[in-house]
Amino acid sequence: MLLQDYQPRPDALAERVILVTGAGAGLGRTAALAFAQHGATVILLGRTTSKLEKVYDEIEAAGGPQAAIYPMNLEGASIKDFEDLAERLEETFGRLDGVLHNAVLLGGLTPLEIYDIERWYKILQVNLNAPFMLTQACLPLLKKSGDASLVFTISNQVKQPKAYWGAYGVSKWALQGLMHTWAEELENNTNVRVNSINPGQALTGLRRQVYPGQAAGDAPEPEALMHAYVYLMSLDSREMNGQTIDCSPDESVSPTAS
Ligand SMILES: NC(=O)c1ccc[n+]([C@@H]2O[C@H](COP(=O)([O-])OP(=O)(O)OC[C@H]3O[C@@H](n4cnc5c(N)ncnc54)[C@H](OP(=O)(O)O)[C@@H]3O)[C@@H](O)[C@H]2O)c1
């Protein structure tokens, strides 16, 4: 079956505890809602509490399992902050069944020749260092799951690096490398699998920042990609490790769902 034809069961994520970073807006918000809709208890991590509260309320209004909010600005977060998070999750849930590394800082398109070094550090901190530290801190919790799914969000820059995308583009390349490294290191003797997803295009705040003239219909709404996100978090993708689901419209080969 092609992934585009995959239709998750309504309870595909029942009993699963999933952490989503950048859950207050865009693809992270939509994924959190979709995970809850399919039965998951979702931990909403992001930097703007009011946005997280809104998503929490939406999940509640839709009758999903009660979510949890964890405000955190990844820009200034240290390994201690991630260890504290893991400790809180251990106390509350006892395990983690999934992490969607989704939060992102774009920082605008700029030639490398004049790229501001402070901005470079900030972007690599949010997009690359934070997912590494969060994964490391949460690994003991993920190992307590019967099947834990770690998902890193990459972008088209991994397929084709482009001028002016600066630290954002470089962070996505590095994230893909990080995904493969974790996947190989964890493939034996753990129930933790590690994959990435390239949303390709989705009409979100990030996309409007890059293409301000873009209107509805010029790119898919985030909801159109959610079957792939739910698939990766569900047991249906249990055999996947070290792979990438590419949702970009120019992708000629659709991944196969088992
Ligand atoms: N949209 C696309 O077309 C597209 C294409 C390829 C890849 N992607 C990838 O998909 C993922 C989601 O993108 P998106 O389009 O949904 O982006 P978005 O609309 O800009 O949302 C990004 C999210 O990350 C959060 N965030 C940013 N900085 C943070 C920080 N320092 N600490 C904690 N949270 C932070 C934001 O929080 P606030 O809302 O509070 O600012 C927001 O919730 C990203 O990894 C992106 O690279 C998107």
pLDDT score for 1: 65
3-state SS, one letter per residue, for 210-221: HCCCCCCCCCCC
Q: Is 254 part of a structural domain of the chain? A: no
Is the C-beta atom of 46 inside 6 A of ligand 1? yes
CA–centroid distance, residue 20 to ligand 1 (Å):
11
Count CB-CB contacts under 10 A for residue 108.
14
Confidence grade of residue 9 (pLDDT, cut at 50, 70, 90)? very high
Chain segment 93-106, per-residue pLDDT in tens = 999 999 999 999 99
Tokens 């834990």 sit on residue:
148
| Dist. CA 187–CA 210, nearest whole Å | 37
pLDDT in tens, 208-220: 888 888 777 888 9
Q: Tell me how crowded residue 65 is: count the other CB atoms within 10 A of its CB.
A: 17
At a CB cut-off of 8 Å and minimum separation 6, what does 102 contact? 20, 21, 22, 23, 27, 28, 31, 153
Q: Which atom of ligand 1 is nearest to the CA of 47?
A: 33
Contacts of residue 204, defined as CB under 8 A and 6 or more positions apart, other chains included, come to 25, 26, 27, 222
Centroid of ligand 1 to alpha carbon of 46 (angstroms): 10
3-state secondary structure of 17: strand
Ligand 1 atom nearest to CA at 156:
6
The answer as to whether 253 is a domain residue is no
Would the CB of 55 count as within 6 Å of ligand 1?
Answer: no
Ligand 1 atom with the smallest distance to the CA of 24 is 43
Q: What is the pLDDT of residues 52-65, one digit of tens each?
A: 999 999 999 999 99
**Quick check: is 257 in a domain?**
no
22 alpha carbon – ligand 1 mean position (Å): 6
The verdict on residue 256 lying in a domain is: no
The CATH number linked to 82 is 3.40.50.720
Q: What six digits make up the tokens of 41?
A: 């208890």
Q: Output the average pLDDT for the chain.
A: 94
Residue type, 109: L
Asked whether residue 216 is assigned to any structural domain, the reply reads yes
> Is 251 a domain residue?
no
Has residue 253 got a pLDDT over 60?
no
Q: What is the 3-state secondary structure (H, E, C) of 192-253?
A: EEEEEEECCCCCCHHHHHHCCCCCCCCCCCHHHHHHHHHHHHCHHHCCCCCCEEECCCCCCC
**Exactly one of 6, 115, 121, 168 is catalytic; which is it?**
168
Rounded average pLDDT over 112-141: 98
In this prediction the pTM is: 0.97
Secondary structure of 123-181 in HEC code, one letter for each residue: HHHHHHHHHHHHHHHHHHHHCCCCCEEEEEECCHHHCCCCCCCHHHHHHHHHHHHHHHH
Instruction: Confirm or reject: Cβ of 24 under 6 Å from ligand 1.
Output: yes
For residue 190, give its domain range: 3-246
Ligand 1 within 6 A of CB of 131: no
Identify residue 173 by its one-letter amino acid code.
W
Q: Could you tell me the distance, in angstroms and rounded to a whole number, from the CA of residue 222 to the centre of ligand 1? A: 12
Residue 252 falls within a domain, yes or no? no
CA distance 78 to 113: 29
* Number of structural domains in the chain: 1
- Does residue 164 carry a catalytic annotation? no
